[in-house]
Amino acid sequence: MDLQTLWFVIIAFLFISFFVLEGFDFGVGILLPFMSQEDRERRAVINTIGPFWDGNEMWLISAGGVMFAVFPKWYATLFSGFYLLLILMLVALIFRGVAFEFRSKHDNPAWRSFWDWSIFGGSLIPALLWGVAIANFMRGVPIDSSMNATGGVLNLLNPYALLCGITSLFIFSLHGAIFLALKTTDTLKEKAMSLARTLWAPATLLCIICMACTVTETDLYLRLGINPGTVPVFSVLALVSVIFMLQKNAAGWAFAMTTVAIAFSTITIFMGLYPRVLVSSLNPAWSLTIYNSSSSLYSLGIMSIVALLFIPMILIYQGWSYQVFRQRVSKDSELEY
């Protein structure tokens, strides 16, 4: 395996971690208005992700930073070509980020309500936009011979991409509902379970439609073959199985299955792309690949040492922080601020 491929795998890993971890905290944010109208209960819902969301978001930030270092042309083409989508995503992440901190700092119903809706919108928009973005990675954007992606925002908001966006929105919501069922008690837990059961059918249906459209809209199945292998199949089977676990009240297993579904779908996408990172809709030769967009071998080497040192450390201390805050949260818990 060459260094470019190693880095393709590491970036795929960063995206998987981001979708799995921030996926459930996006879901919790989206479900916040549906979970409860009562202030202490809402605080309890927020506190299920309180210690984690910032660390989870770093998987995205690090994916961006790492992309800049190891595939600078991918970073440059993607971030400039998806300009308005990213502006929208930044606005969402700004509101969401300060909302967690500001919400309880002032005792006024209008204030609280404003920040609660910021958490909702700030979670919903990125959950949707990530589906849109990934769909366009696969479907292709008008990249010219000098690696510039023209075409603007309307080109990105095509029906297929929007379908993928709504799908990712529902899957993250389902993932978040199951996380809430794992982390809350009593009425909050029941509410989360019932939301999860409601969300399962549209999430699964959308996922299957989305995969079908991927056959016609992208070249992924041409590349992966008619029998695309076990990875996408497992991804769908995992999602289908969630309802049986929810009916048995086995939220832990259900969470494991949504995790598998998200991880395996992401792996499928990256497998279908390889060795490309951004498909050109104008000319296959103008697609960005891990080879024409990568840094020098020296920089890749330095980054490899850095990643092999630090990513295991991150997994250890983030895992530890999940361990510290493993208890369920209820409105009667001592709620930090």
Partner 1 sequence: METLFLARAQFAFTSIFHFFFIPLTLGLSIFTAILETAYVKTGNEKYKHLTKFWGTLFLINFAVGVVTGIVMEFQFGMNWSAYSRFVGDIVGVPLAIETLLAFFIESTFIGVWVFGWNKLPKALHAASIWIVALGSTLSAFWILVANSFMQSPVGYKMAANGSQAEMVDFFALLFNPSLWKQFPHVLAGGVVTAGFLVIAVSVWHLCRGTQERNAFETSLKFGAIYAFIGTMLVVLAGHAQMQNLLTTQPMKVAAAEALWESENPASFSLFTIGDEKGLKDVFSIRVPGMLSFLAYNTFEGEVKGIKNLQKEYAVQYGPGNYIPSIVTAYWSFRFMVGAGTLMLFVSLLALYKVIKENYTFSPMAGTLLFWSLLLPWIANTSGWILAEMGRQPWIVFGLLKTENGVTPASVVSSSELLFSLAVFIVIYAALAGTDLFLLKKYASAGIKTAE
Binding site for partner 1 (CB under 8 A): 47, 50-55, 57-58, 61-62, 64-66, 68-70, 72-73, 75-81, 83-84, 86-87, 90-91, 93-94, 97-98, 100-102, 105-106, 147-150, 152, 295-296, 298-299, 302-303, 306-307, 310-311, 314, 317-318, 321, 324-325, 334, 336-337
Please provide residue 106's backbone torsions phi and psi, each rounded to the nearest 5 degrees.
-150, 130
For 247, the token pair is 């009916």
Say how far apart CA 23 and CA 329 lie, in whole Å.
Answer: 19
Nearest residue (CB) to partner 1, 78 versus 188: 78
Quick check: helix, strand or coil at residue 278? strand
Q: How many C-beta atoms lie closer than 10 Å to residue 177's C-beta?
A: 33
Burial zone of 329 (CB within 10 Å; 0-12 exposed, 13-18 middle, 19+ buried) = buried
The C-alpha R_g of the chain, in whole angstroms, comes to 20
The CB-of-94 to partner 1 minimum distance in angstroms stands at: 4
The CB-of-262 to partner 1 minimum distance in angstroms stands at: 21
For 171, the token pair is 């899957």
The CB-of-202 to partner 1 minimum distance in angstroms stands at: 31
The CB-of-83 to partner 1 minimum distance in angstroms stands at: 5
The CB-of-311 to partner 1 minimum distance in angstroms stands at: 7
Q: Locate all alpha helices (DSSP H) within the chain, ordered by sequence.
A: 3-35, 39-49, 53-70, 72-81, 83-102, 109-139, 152-156, 159-183, 186-217, 220-224, 230-247, 251-273, 297-324
Nearest residue (CB) to partner 1, 86 versus 256: 86
Q: CB of 287 within 8 A of CB of 143?
A: yes
Count of alpha carbons within 13 angstroms of residue 219, beta-carbon side: 10
Distance set, CA 62 to CA 8, 29, 70, 274, 302 (Å): 14, 22, 12, 21, 16
Nearest residue (CB) to partner 1, 66 versus 192: 66
Q: CB of 181 within 8 A of CB of 247?
A: no
Quick check: helix, strand or coil at residue 328? coil
For 72, the token pair is 């600078």
Please provide residue 331's backbone torsions phi and psi, each rounded to the nearest 5 degrees.
-70, -15
Please identify which residue in the block is written with the tokens 């595939």: 71
Nearest residue (CB) to partner 1, 141 versus 188: 141
Nearest residue (CB) to partner 1, 179 versus 264: 179
Residue 228's nearest CA partner among 237, 215, 217, 239 is 215
Nearest residue (CB) to partner 1, 86 versus 250: 86
The CB-of-294 to partner 1 minimum distance in angstroms stands at: 9
The CB-of-322 to partner 1 minimum distance in angstroms stands at: 10
Amino acid (one-letter) located at 107? D
Nearest residue (CB) to partner 1, 99 versus 261: 99
Nearest residue (CB) to partner 1, 208 versus 297: 297
The CB-of-315 to partner 1 minimum distance in angstroms stands at: 10
The CB-of-84 to partner 1 minimum distance in angstroms stands at: 6
Nearest residue (CB) to partner 1, 123 versus 268: 123
